[in-house]
Structure 1
Amino acid sequence: MSITRRRKIVNKKRKPHHEDHMDETWLIPYADLLTLLLALFIILFASSEMDSKKYDSIMRSLNNAFTGGVSFFEQPQVVPVPGDPASDLHKKNEEAKAKQEEQLDQVRKETADLQELKQKIDNYIESNQLSTQLETKLTQDLLMITIRDNALYSSGSATVKPDAQKLAVTISDMLQNYPQYQIEVAGHTDNVPIRNAEFETNWDLSTKRALNFMKILLENPNVSANRFRAIGYGEYRPIDTNNTADGRAKNRRVEVSILRTVKEPTVIGASGEPQ
């Protein structure tokens, strides 16, 4: 067999040679890079009308996103972008909490003032042995001085007794040191009907009693009349039963209320909702 023929046979038996393919692994990071660039340009386009502060916030957020956290559990801190709902809600919550704290400070100051005034009145009651005729009570809304009607008026009368006028003058002298508070003088009766030449109903009697006592308070030139109001509740706000003599005696009274100017604020929770 000739050499030429032998070579042809060998070439036929030999497997065809395939060329090696090119390495295409670079396409994956290249595609990721293009995606990130596209996202960046979209964000820059969307924020083209924002002011410089918003732009800086976005760039800080992007910088944290690309360079922050070195592990799955170490995530970068997201900077809130002003103008978005989450940022606005956070700002409103902070403003609400600041306002709440300011109100609490005012409430604490008022409480201290009213506690001081209460102590002065309690000392006067004790030193003059008037505990059976007067009492004080401090609440979240007011400081109330309750005076039994028999300490102020004769039965069926709205004329303040001479000794009781001294009490009114003392209370007025104390109130002049607290000019920021509004004062309400309220008259109350029991449910026993009254009908005489001066008063047709318990409404008339309770209103006139409150008015007369308030007039004595206003004789002090150092108190302003626009701080005061007088009101009669008649028999319709009892504090005890009207079925007993003692209960009716408690219901016949005059209340001098020093009203708070600031109410206890509503507590704001972490979600911004009142609690």
Structure 2
Amino acid sequence: MSKRNKKHQDHEEHADESWLLPYSDLMTLLLALFIVLFGMSNIDAQKFQEMSEAFHSVLTGGSGILDHNALQSSTINGISDSQLPKTSTDGLMNQKKQLMQQEQESLEALKKQLDTYIENNGLTDQLDTKLNQSQLMITISDKALFPSGEADVKPDARVLAKAISTLLQEFPDYEVIVSGHTDNVPISTAKFPSNWDLSSARALNFMKILILNEKLDPMKFSAIGYGEYHPVASNDTNVGRAQNRRVEVSIIRKYQDGDQQIGLPATKE
């Protein structure tokens, strides 16, 4: 046998092994796939959904979860939300209680000043103050402010309004509601067709005098007319009707229990 044929036979004994390279690459890819699948099986379902929506948003060009850093909020440096420190609700509640206590003390001090002014000026039968869980209310009899059936504030009542506005300077950031009330005796004049009109005009006119004080912010004030529909006494007697004809100046609390309603008119006790 010639040397040429012998070399050819030796070459045929060694099979082609070039297929091993793509085979090894394929095995590597399969291993990586199984690792990813195993990892995904341990991911929280909600987080996987967020990731899915994020990728879907990116592919469709929309604004998705990633735009709002939702994934970052779910996991930060491998630490889940449940492992992050949270703000103490007890601390927030204690802070609110402190603010409520400070407000209570300030309103009590203002009430004391008003009561002293009322007593010193002999107005105990015309003015009254009441502090409850929603407001500090100053109740003024209509006879101290207006002529019968009218809404123009009496000249001497302007002194009272000025005194009240001066005291309100201590609470420049508080909402103040001025409300007018009447008895149930009908009124029908060219100027005031109904008790609604009369009570609204009285509240508005008294409020206008209060906000003449440049140290008060008109944006904090509002005037409301309730007519005859929020009585504090029976309209069956003259005394009761006189109590119902009134103007109330209410300083609304900023801090109060969640079940308290704001700015409600006085009700019969």
The TM tier, using the shorter chain, reads 0.5 to 0.7
1:109 aligns with 2:102: yes
Cα distance, 1:112–1:246 mapped onto 2, change above 3 Å: same
Report matched runs for 1:40-189 at 5 Å: 83-84=81-82, 95-189=88-182
Secondary structure of the structure 2 residue equivalent to 1:101: helix
**1:171 and 1:195 mapped to 2: Cα distance?**
32
Q: Return the offset for 1:95.
A: 2.7
**Retained in 2: the 8 A contact 1:240–1:250?**
yes
**2:258 and 2:96 mapped to 1: Cα distance?**
6
**Retained in 2: the 8 A contact 1:104–1:264?**
no
Runs of 4+ in 1 over 4 A off after TM superposition: 50-54
- Matched to 1:206, the amino acid is S
**2:150 and 2:97 mapped to 1: Cα distance?**
44
Aligned-residue Cα RMSD (Å) equals 2.3
- Matched to 2:162, the amino acid is V
Q: Return the offset for 1:265.
A: 5.7
Cα distance, 1:51–1:244 mapped onto 2, change above 3 Å: closer
Q: Percent identity?
A: 48
Match of residue 211 from structure 1:
204
**1:265 and 1:161 mapped to 2: Cα distance?**
40
Match of residue 40 from structure 1:
none
Q: Return the offset for 1:53.
A: 8.9
Secondary structure of the structure 1 residue equivalent to 2:176: strand
Q: Which has the larger radius of gyration?
A: 1
Secondary structure of the structure 1 residue equivalent to 2:88: helix
The one-character-per-residue Cα deviations of 1:187-244 (angstroms, maximum 9, x if unpaired) are 0001110011210000000000000000110111111111100000000000111111
Match of residue 257 from structure 1:
250
**2:257 and 2:76 mapped to 1: Cα distance?**
40
**Retained in 2: the 8 A contact 1:100–1:265?**
no
Secondary structure of the structure 2 residue equivalent to 1:193: coil
Structure 2 unmatched runs, 5+: 1-41, 44-74, 260-269
Match of residue 239 from structure 1:
232
**2:77 and 2:186 mapped to 1: Cα distance?**
77
Count of matched residue positions in the alignment of Structure 1 and Structure 2:
189
**1:249 and 1:265 mapped to 2: Cα distance?**
34
